[in-house]
Structure 1
Amino acid sequence: MTLTQAAPTRVVRPGLSSAGLVTVLLGAALPIIDFFIVNVALPTINADLHASTATLELVVAAYGISYALLLVVGGRLGDAYGRRRLFFIGLMAFTVTSLLCGIAPSVDMLVLARALQGAASALMLPQVLSIIQASTSGESRSKALGLYGAMGGISTVVGQLVGGLLVSANLWGTGWRPIFLVNVPIGLVGLWLARQTLPESRSENPHGVDRLGTVLLGVSILSLLVPLMEGRALGWPVWSIVLLAVFPLAVWGFVVVERRIERSGAMPLLPPSVMRMPSMRRGLMVGVPFFAGFGAFMFVVAVTLQEGLHFGPLKSGLALTPMAVGFFTMSLVSSRFVTRFGQRVVVAGAAFQLIGLLVLVGTVAMAWPLVTVLDLAPGMLLAGIGQGLAMTTLFRVVLSRVPTEIAGVGSGVMTTTQQTSLALGVATLGSLFASLIGSVGVRDAFMTVIGLQAVLTVGVMWFARRLPDPRG
């Protein structure tokens, strides 16, 4: 469920055929489906590869970290060298890395392959909106963007159900591996379609790649998240303490470099001037806790359903489906609510999520260990409705005050923050959950972490009141 940057272009727009639109939407759907499939399969991966809970966090977060780090870079490479070309390269890399994930002999190799898969997605996904923008106009563009928005919700539902089905089927005794291997034939079809149907386009004035900023951002993210996820499980070895000490230095270096690049007239990775915009600053105050909570939620629920309640993968997928349906439905109608109610839609979405979280906590407290899929459905549905309202609206509200000429840059900032926050949620709340399981049990660990997410949601509601009104 991501939004990617779409850099403006002034070149003549070659048309995007229906087959071409299907192709780019396929490219947008695959990484989202993969995110949710992995969550459903985590306990099965654990049983097969004997991974610790901390390492399972890395299986989830490695993808998001590399995706967040290279997202803006991927968009700029597409602007400079051709969006069709980068989409093709990204899809090819995604197909190959999916194969590597599917045949990974150890959990360490799986984590590495997941990081490479995230990097491939970062090359591919920014091109989707850029291709749509560069090759459509008027009603065709509105229709294409509407389908793109709906694709996020559809992919969520498909990811839950297909993931549960594939893992439960245990095809030829391969367990969790088909959730990755299924991407290979789909990717090959997508590559053929991309070569046949997509028009080429590039920006007349592409921005260069901020290499030093990208490296420093990567060091900043890794020096924080890796120790948080692995340090506790390993007894806080010296290297984890050293990395945490590196974190503030890397952040300081990143800020200095970004300011220097912007003063020189070039375009840094995350422009400080954009970060200082009131709408962007307020949007980040809402987005960081919201997306961090969502990332933790998906990880904690996946482990609780299968290891705590002993649901199978298919049953776990069914338990999560009401949330996905709620998200999908709201993603289709949220724009109408924004037209009428403005930024208050984000507040309402957070309120729905808060009620859903509290219902889930109450359900688990009263019915454990005999919680059923139907017991969980009301809380999951309410949480999904809230996530669909808030998540799809937040980008629109924040970017409504970003000047058109840097809309792609603003979108890149928001999406990088989104993906980093998802990984941060797994690293912090996910690690807390893992540490509590051994002392208080899965039920109380679940209630504690989801309760903390509810507190974060209250903060989201408070800060969302100060978001700008997208209606002007």
Structure 2
Amino acid sequence: MTVTHPSRQSELHPVGVFFLLAGAFLPIMDFFITNVALPSIDASLHASTSSLELVIAGYGVAYAALLVLGGRLGDRYGRRRLFLGALAGFVLASLACGLAPTVGVLIAARIAQGATAALLIPQVLATFHHTLEHERKARALALYGATSGIAAVVGQLVGGLLVSADIAGTGWRPIFLVNVPIGLVVLVVAARIVPNTRSPHPVGVDGVGTVLFAATLTAVLVPLTEGHSLGWPWWIWLLLAVAAVLAVATYLVEKRSERRGEVPLLPPSLLRLPSMSRGLVMVFAFSAGFGAFMFVFALMVQDGLHADALHGGLAILPMAVLFLAGSMLAPRLIGRFGRAALSAGAVIQIAGLAALVTVVVQDWPHVSLWAMAGPLALVGGGQSMLFAGLFRSVLADVPAHLGGVGSGALITLQQSGLALGVATLGTLYLALAPHGVPHAFAMVESVHIAIVALLAVGAGLLPRFTTAVATMPLAEA
């Protein structure tokens, strides 16, 4: 295939879709890849439990807090420019993580990673929203949803493989250094084939709204992530109370800003669109359950079953394979069966989670990876259907000139859900595990099953899907 530069600003080459997705893959994977490397990081840098949690929390807080700002900056200054600049920053931050001499430097570099990821990711969805139409847009959005889920699963798999390989005695460091060559290739190719688009009606940055929103997320995520390891001191509860006050203040400021004719960071009118109001709630709930599952499963396999990083990563392989296969079929099935396909995917996921809990509880402590493979495959297949449909539906009603704001809000809710899922259900698991790992796992997954059951019902409230995608070959995306 000969790659040519797009002749029109609104034209995105099919290969450009692939490289934009590759650029999005790395930051999403990096949220999960650290889970299986924490014991190795602890041994290498002599980090405290609180410091290890900050390695994850620092990335997640910076990522979630700046996502909407990233979408706004792309709308105003050009999405390709922001994508390339943020990707270059992400590569440098990854290099700093891989070379970090102390845990303090690693935490700082992880925060920089999260910040650059927040500027990068919204440009992908906004570019799809602005340059693609009809079937191609639907296909690209579905592939983005698949990429997000696959990156999460592959993160733990690749993390386990790289840590166990201990390349040249470097231990955990390759999980960050691997981003450097991949990121450079994406950077060079994307600079040539991705069109530089921006909103025809750019608006200024909402400074007050940005600060309030970032402060709200920080005041929520830090206590929930750090509270368990610190023993829930009084200031943690005070910070959560402050978060509630900040959330109210953010809403009032944004509402007043929109009434003055400005476009705030999170326009209340945009969030009231049917696709946004319904879809974002479901994306948040799905992400909370998904993030908690990935975190708790990794702990259950490594700490509970005493598997090494390699087997901890390989344990998730059946889920990754079925998620990938399901993601390839999801757009066609959703195009044919509409919202019913999402509900069916949720039911399949519930069946897999219930079977997995049964295996863990009944066979403990002699649970084999083979016994968990079938249930995990069901989980992955069901998730792929639900994930692809949710991401496709959220931006359905968003005006093109607010594509960056809409996509930023979407991924903010996704990332916030992932982090809050780890902080809440992960904390529940850590509190119950000393009294029995299998029952702690069963308790957390019972909550996860309830969440997915609500999503199965809620899928009927999403906008109807068109049937065009069902007949479009994958190569045309």
**Distance in 1 between the 2:251 and 2:411 partners?**
19
Question: Which residue is 1:450 aligned to?
Answer: 445
Is 1:101 equivalent to 2:100 in the alignment? Answer: no
| Counterpart residue type for residue 228 of structure 2 | R
8 Å contact from structure 2 (residues 122, 407) kept in 1: no
Indicate conservation of the 8 Å contact 1:54/1:229, yes or no: no
Which of 6, 9, 13 matches 1:13? 9
- Alignment correspondent of 2:268: 272
Rounded to whole Å, the distance in 2 between the matches of 1:183 and 1:233 is 30
CA contact (8 A) 1:42 1:303 kept: no
Check whether the contact 1:168–1:175 (CA below 8 A) recurs between aligned residues. yes
Matched, 1:436 2:432: yes
Could you say which residue in structure 1 is the equivalent of 2:81? 85
How far off is 1:326 after superposition? 1.8
What does 1:144-183 correspond to in 2, within 5 Å?
Answer: 148=144, 151-152=147-148, 155-156=151-152, 158-183=154-179
Whether the aligned pair in 2 keeps the contact of 1:43 and 1:306 (CA below 8 Å) is no
Letter in 2 for 1:254: T
Q: CA distance change for structure 1 residues 251 and 134 in 2, over 3 Å: closer, same or farther?
A: closer
The answer for the alignment partner of 1:463 in structure 2 is 458
Question: How far off its partner does 1:309 sit?
Answer: 1.0
Q: d(CA) in 2 for partners of 1:273 and 1:371?
A: 50
Unaligned stretches of 5+ in structure 1?
1-10
SS at match of 1:175: coil
* Residue identity in the other structure for 1:176: W
Q: What TM-score, normalized by structure 1, do the two folds share?
A: 0.88
The whole-number CA distance in structure 2 between the counterparts of 1:57 and 1:279 is: 35
Aligned counterparts of 1:53 and 1:239: Cα–Cα separation in 2: 19
- Cα separation, partners in 2 of 1:97 and 1:246, compared to 1, 3 Å: same
The answer to which of 368-377 and 272-281 deviates more is 272-281
Q: Aligned pair 1:369/2:365, yes or no?
A: yes
Match of residue 6 from structure 1: none
Distance 1:299 1:107, change over 3 A: farther
Change (3 A) 1:67 1:249: same
Corresponding residue for residue 238 of structure 1? 234
Q: Is contact 1:54-1:431 (8 Å) kept?
A: no
Superposition deviation, residue 116 in structure 1: 1.7
Measured in 1, the distance between the counterparts of 2:448 and 2:14 equals: 41
Partner Cα distance (1:81, 1:433) in 2: 44
CA contact (8 A) 2:146 2:384 kept: no
Deviates more, 1:193-202 or 1:172-181: 193-202
CA RMSD of aligned residues (A): 2.8
AA of the residue aligned to 1:123: L
Deviations 1:18-45, CA, capped at 9 Å, x for gaps: 7655543331221233233223323433
What TM-score results when the alignment is normalised by the length of structure 2?
0.87
Query: Number of paired residues?
Result: 461
Give CA deviations for 1:104-154 in whole Å, capped at 9, x if unaligned.
Answer: 344444333222211111112222244455566788777766765654465
1:420 aligns with 2:420: no
- Give the equivalent residue in structure 1 for 2:470: none
- Counterpart of 1:251 (choices 233, 247, 264) is 247
What residue number does 1:5 align with?
none
Choose which of 286, 301, 326 in structure 1 pairs with 2:282.
Answer: 286
Equivalent AA in structure 2 for residue 371 of structure 1: V
In the TM superposition, 1:11-160 aligns within 5 A as 12-13=8-9, 16=12, 20-51=16-47, 55-132=51-128, 148=144, 151-152=147-148, 155-156=151-152, 158-160=154-156
Partner residue in 1 for 2:4: none
**Alignment partner for residue 380 of structure 2, among 384, 389, 403?**
384
Q: Would you say the 8 A contact 1:42–1:302 is kept in 2?
A: no
Q: Residues of 1 paired with 2:326 and 2:269: CA distance?
A: 33
Amino acid at match of 1:410: G
Identity %, equivalent residues = 51
5 Å-filtered alignment, 1:317-328, equals 317-328=313-324
Letter in 1 for 2:373: A
Question: 8 Å contact 2:73–2:205 — kept in the other structure?
Answer: yes
Indicate conservation of the 8 Å contact 1:347/1:461, yes or no. yes
Measured in 2, the distance between the counterparts of 1:446 and 1:330 equals 26
